[in-house]
DNA sequence: TTTGAATTTAGAATAAGTATAAATCTTATT
DNA sequence: AATAAGATTTATACTTATTCTAAATTCAAA
């Protein structure tokens, strides 16, 4: 299951995601491909994103918005969304193990992972607001 | 903004959500309404769910599945999904304040809230699996 | 009663994503 | 080089969840 077939279109999609640091949606990726002069079929972009996700070169993020976002940062991390401007930033601070432990005890689940989405106001929007 | 107009359909939808403890989707609510003998328009159920959410009688949950779920439990809490059977259970254990603090410091955000979705295997599915 | 606002209804429209089937590209085999 | 097999891309149709629209209905003043 390790074989990797990076076609022109998959490579181009991967490059976009790798070089974007704003967690782009499929539509974002599409626009950036067009800006670079590519004109792939709509479905190809989705297929490529799915392929890259399956091969674990990128991650799909479901943050509670209408569209999935994509992330080439693979280390385990969480996200925070600005309620004012909508930007999505990284949260590297790890979930406390004691908390997962408490949840396992409380629920009786074997807890495998946690997806956390923080909400708040980013520093830029904070300064704009105080004006 | 406090006026509350609970029509027959809104009341019926509210009753379903209040008496369901499995975090039903809009489609679930619809089916249960039909079981009770109601036959509301599709859009009315969505409108009612939106209305009740706006009036804060229920909460809309976006857990990363395709459809929203609804919850009449209003106290601040999180959720955990069984990867085997798909059930959604409550997590009352609160997010550690130190962690939110660390995230605020790391990101520079004014952190307002966190949505957490744990994933794992529920106790029922654990026992079934060991067999 | 008439009037007007709010609500419901049926159905059309939208948005994100998936499925399909034909066309094209790759890779091996002769 | 010619062929066949397999994978991929393309264009388009479809699905699913949800919202929008416009007409019909309900409900509450005046
Ligand atoms: Mn990220
Ligand atoms: Mn709940
Ligand atoms: Zn912001
Ligand atoms: Zn289970």
- Does a structural domain hold residue A119? yes
- Does a structural domain hold residue B2? no
Which structural domain, as residue segments, surrounds residue A34?
Answer: 8-71
Query: Which of B109, B113, B123, B130 to mutate to test binding with chain A, by most A CBs within 10 Å of its CB?
Result: B109
Do residues A103 and A109 touch, judged by C-beta distance below 8 A?
yes
- Does a structural domain hold residue A1? no
Residues B24 and B53 in one domain: yes
Distance B39 CA to D30 C1' (A): 35
Q: What is the domain count for chain A?
A: 2
Q: DSSP of A13-63, one letter per residue?
A: HHHHHHH--S--BHHHHHHHHHHTT----HHHHHHHHHHHHHTTSSEEE--
Confidence (pLDDT) at A130: 73
Whichever domain contains B112, its CATH number is 3.30.1490.190
Confidence (pLDDT) at B2: 61
Work out the number of other CB atoms within 10 angstroms of the CB of residue A52: 23
- Kindly report, residue by residue over A1-37, the tens digit of the pLDDT: 468 999 999 999 999 999 999 999 999 999 999 999 9
Distance A41 CA to C28 C1' (A): 28
Average pLDDT on A98-120 reads: 98
Q: Which residue of A has its CA nearest to B65?
A: A62
Task: Supply A113's token pair.
Answer: 């992972």
- Does a structural domain hold residue A99? yes
Residues A38 and A54 in one domain: yes
B68: nt with nearest C1' to CA: D17
Distance CA B6, CA B9 (A): 8
pLDDT at position B50 over 70: yes
Kindly indicate the confidence band of residue B19, based on its pLDDT and cuts at 50, 70 and 90. Answer: very high
Averaged confidence pLDDT in chain B: 96
**A 52-71, residues with C-beta < 7 Å of strand C:** 66-68
Identify the domain boundary among B71, B86, B102: B71
Confidence (pLDDT) at B26: 98
Using a CB-CB cut-off of 8 Å, the residues of chain B touching A86 are none
Identify the domain boundary among A47, A71, A95: A71
> What does R_g of chain A's alpha carbons equal in angstroms?
18
Confidence (pLDDT) at B87: 97
- Does a structural domain hold residue A3? no
- Does a structural domain hold residue B43? yes
Q: Which of residues B1 and B78 earns the better pLDDT score?
A: B78
Residues A53 and A90 in one domain: no
Q: Sign of dihedral through CA atoms B98, A64, A69, A104?
A: positive
Average pLDDT on A94-116 reads: 97
Whichever domain contains A67, its CATH number is 1.10.10.10
- Kindly report, residue by residue over B64-113, the tens digit of the pLDDT: 999 999 999 999 999 999 999 999 999 999 999 999 999 999 999 999 99
């Amino acid at each position: 299951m390790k074989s990797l077939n990076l076609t022109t279109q998959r490579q181009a999609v991967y490059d976009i995601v790798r070089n974007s640091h704003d967690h782009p949606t499929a539509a974002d990726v599409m626009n950036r491909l067009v800006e670079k002069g590519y004109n792939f079929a709509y479905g190809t972009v989705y297929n490529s994103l799915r392929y890259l996700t399956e091969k674990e070169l990128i991650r799909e993020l479901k943050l509670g918005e209408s569209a999935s976002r994509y992330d080439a940062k693979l280390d385990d991390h969480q996200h925070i969304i600005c309620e004012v401007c909508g930007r999505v930033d990284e949260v590297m601070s790890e979930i406390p193990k004691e908390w997962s432990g408490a949840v396992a005890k409380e629920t009786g689940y074997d807890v495998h992972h946690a997806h956390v989405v923080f909400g708040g106001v980013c520093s830029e929007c904070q300064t704009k607001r105080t004006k």
